[in-house]
Structure 1
Amino acid sequence: MIRLTVRGCFVAESWTGIVVGLCGMSAAVLLVAVHYWREMTRRRKLKRMDHRDWWEVMRDRH
């Protein structure tokens, strides 16, 4: 039989808080990393596009 003392209960609650906090922080770090990766990908793709060339091509077609 497991006995929970008042002190043991507080320890269990603090560990639960630490685990939940670490899970939340891990999720936040993951979201920030994905956001940064998407922004860098978007910036790289926009840099590859040359808008003036497309503008000239479309203008000459009409």
Structure 2
Amino acid sequence: MNRKLMYRVRGQINFIKSNIHYLDGINRIVAFAEGEGRNAVLLARKGFEVTAWVYAKNGLKNNTISFST
């Protein structure tokens, strides 16, 4: 992963981590344009039931995520 992309990914994950308190009382989340699923995995690890939607072929061919807590 190149440095520019790595910085962007860290920024997205840090954004979720720093704003997750706004989701108190919410159990289910739908994540659109999820790509490789990093955000969905993070949210699932935090205890949310996550449905991730991917439309881009690149995101679909790179992985299939199956994650349960």
Q: TM-score range by the shorter chain?
A: 0.3 to 0.5
- Which structure has more helix as a fraction of its residues? 1
Normalized against structure 2, the TM-score is what? 0.31
- Which structure has more strand as a fraction of its residues? 2
